[in-house]
A and B are shown apart, each in its own frame.
Chain A
């Protein structure tokens, strides 16, 4: 009896010892539904891209989701964005020049797209296809394009050349709208791609269009303006609106004080950030007016999004290796809580 007990203790002890010597614990979640993903870029030049998951009730926070669900696999060099479409999640890994396609509920890998992508940034979907913005070589203004992704074969079917620096991409009414932030340079265009025939046209907007949102046949474009080190010197940002019925552009609001960075739409409210502050505007009112709702304590504002109930503001914290945080507020601007994220969290992707 005694010997068996001893053996049991020994065996159990060995088991504990075994699990303790592993570098990290790999714990699977039952499902990644009813929550949101945070793409963490990681440092440029290092394979530090990873995904954080937070459940809608904010009770579950999970770091390093890709590695946990894929046997410790390394995701890659700069995870720029995540987009959800039908039952899959598309992870755009910028400096590894690939997109990892995973199941959006289990986060297990389905396929890798790694040809015909050159500095891929963001992805949007229209007409059953995926459209991926690519910078090409950062210093070459003539090799930028949008790759058209076949979602059944997970390969790039064709490429559409566009002007320099295509960044965020928005899908509406079978058209794709690409904001040309400018890549390593600066630009001031929106490309319009017709997903039936992949034809492109451009619309001129303010300097450095960073974000877009569509409401009621209007495309709102947040332009942050040029920096002092850009050719021609610093210019002010502004909020443009494009009437999608006739493609006419007008300026809703100039930003003469500090540069705006990010924008998101929820219902009929438009939210945008300027430095550490968040502003909102009600788009159903007859006149356009904005109101400051949050003056945050973020150190380095790095990402922003809103959903039906909350505002999410992401902080990179520092450039010295600290992990980022997400500050979660009510739609009225009161802080609910903060949660830990990974290195350089730059957005939210709702699942």
Chain B
């Protein structure tokens, strides 16, 4: 049975007596929630990319295709629509944090998020941030983090969006978004439905993807209310129910099915003082539930439930026009029940503080510290130091150094045969240096990143011949990200060009080999042309060769393909946009997991209404 340790948890509340007179903050209570504000501050130092609205409507099903097109993240899927795992800056799937409204929503059981079970149509802002962020966002934020947020707009007339997608392999998507706001109350909601038979042919083979059908329904609802000019209460909720049959390999038809349910509830209470200080409380409940059918024709399943109760208290304290202080205290209780792990739980408490200091008019710095205490493992002291020097309008130099971590998952700790209660968190010590060049029509950024990882958890067979996770791996990651963005408007033509090249070396220090599924090279390109009502988007991506085992004796070939989207905006007559998409124009055969190919050329048509 699972032993329950004595709990070491502490909730530290730091409240400063408001005797210090600070300059009035010009922050408008209504517009920007504290979560989004914190993200804006981070983006001054690290590479941050906000996914554009048009791209969200171009890829409304899941998040995988958007991230593959817009970011440097390398994603692999066990077949289209199946489990989608990221590899961000040379790290593995559980070292990318997915953060919803400021809360980490990676699976408690397996440590990663499935990017095919997060629909772009449900989130208003999707931001991809490169590099570590544990001091603020906690566990898993090592390679980078993806932030999914809602925007509540006050004084907003009713605005609705309806999107229909119909595509190859019997794929259908339907989503509706609504937002409305009065002087004191704002509401935002969305509902999404996806379904696909997913029986795509394998390019160059006689057979096709069978038993790969999927469907999911998801919804989000957010409500914000200002009680007085100082006191604001927000409610955010999220729901997703997904079912997918697990497709097999090139030669074996899958027989299994996987059902998932995610429910998230968040209450956010903030008090805004006259002098710009903000006191914020977040209370959240998260639920993930899965049901795995080894044979979908039989009723037998293995299943599990993981629940999280989360409380965070934040204090934002502007001290002067050069100095800002931010403190945060968190308490987290997680528990799981199921057919594999009968019952297990843990408590984690943490406290963090950060100081933002404008050393010179052209030099900004940020220093943060975080300490956690858990009922199960010892956590390291985490910190981050960030700086940005912007001496002239066209040049900026940024430097970040941080210590980040990833806590062991419930499966790592408590799996009935092999779970290891003595695991410690994985640690990452990283730094990155970026240079930005701003010119009239665009921007060029070059970033060098370095990450030393230790105590990485690897499942290995032991003498008794069963597998067990151990903190045995050390990895050294080196690489660079280069991005060029260029826009120019002519009389009636707007053009936009995005180019991205990433080089990543992620070396296992024991055998000096590249970690599996991490390509050395990755290129993404997007060219967008808008002429009156016509909108043309051309995308190209190149993904380098990846090894599929630790010894690098097997690999998957590099591949490249492009997409073209042609859209027409009927706005003069009706608020409708029609878009036709051809994906993988070259009909390229490719796979990013052994023997599980992705589709060749296919088409989608998307109709969007705005009213």
Contact = CB atoms under 8 A, between A and B. Distances in A.
Contacts of B294: 137-140
A48 B250 CA distance: 11
B300 A137 contact: yes
A259 to B, nearest CB: 8
Interface of A: 43, 45-48, 74-77, 93, 95-98, 136-140, 143, 227-229, 318-323
Interface stretch (B216-224, B327-335, B363-371, B545-553): B545-553
A148 B225 CA distance: 70
B249 A143 contact: no
Leading 10 A-B pairs by shortest Cβ distance = A321-B549, A320-B550, A229-B417, A321-B551, A96-B252, A137-B295, A76-B251, A47-B595, A77-B252, A46-B594
Nearest to A319: B461
Given A139-B300, A227-B464, A229-B416, A323 B553 contact: yes
Chain A interface, DSSP helix/strand/loop, else mixed: loop
Interface string B424-458: 00000000000000000000000000000000000
10 contacts: A47-B250, A48-B595, A76-B252, A77-B595, A93-B251, A96-B252, A137-B300, A139-B300, A228-B464, A321-B553
B554 A75 contact: no
B466 interface: yes
A227 B465 contact: yes
A319 B595 contact: no
A143 B298 contact: yes
Interface in B163-206: none
B460 interface: yes
Contacts of A136: 295
B600 interface: no
A321 B417 CA distance: 24
Nearest to A184: B294
B251 A77 contact: yes
A96 B460 contact: no
Contacts of B594: 43, 45-48
B512 interface: no
Contacts of B252: 47, 76-77, 93, 95-97
Contacts of A46: 249, 548, 594-595
B248 A321 contact: no
A137 B511 CA distance: 37
Interface in B456-477: 460-461, 464-466
Contact of B551 (A48, A140, A228, A320): A320
B587 interface: no
Contacts of B253: 97
A98 B464 CA distance: 32
A230 to B, nearest CB: 9
Interface residues of B, number: 30
Contacts of B550: 320-321
Contacts of B321: none
Interface of B: 248-253, 255, 294-295, 298, 300, 302, 416-418, 460-461, 464-466, 511, 548-554, 594-595
Contacts of B300: 137, 139-140
A228 B549 CA distance: 29
Contacts of A95: 249, 252
Given A140-B298, A140-B300, A45 B249 contact: yes
A43 B460 CA distance: 15
A98 B554 CA distance: 25
A98 B250 CA distance: 13
A93 B594 CA distance: 17
A274 to B, nearest CB: 13
Nearest to A230: B417
A320 B550 CA distance: 5
Nearest to B302: A139
A188 B552 CA distance: 40
Given A77-B252, A137-B295, A139-B302, 10 more contacts: A46-B548, A47-B594, A48-B554, A77-B248, A136-B295, A137-B294, A139-B300, A140-B294, A140-B298, A322-B553
Nearest to B339: A139
Contacts of B248: 77
Contacts of B466: 227, 229
Contacts of B552: 321
Nearest to A73: B251
Nearest to A78: B252
A318 B250 contact: no
B251 A96 contact: yes
B338 to A, nearest CB: 14
Contacts of A45: 249, 594
A319 B550 CA distance: 8
Contacts of A96: 249, 251-252
A74 B205 CA distance: 11
Contacts of B511: 320
B321 to A, nearest CB: 56
A320 B552 CA distance: 8
A139 B461 CA distance: 22
A43 B516 CA distance: 14
Given A137-B295, A140-B300, A77 B551 contact: no
Contacts of A323: 553
Nearest to B557: A23
A282 B511 CA distance: 45
A47 B418 CA distance: 27
B249 A320 contact: no
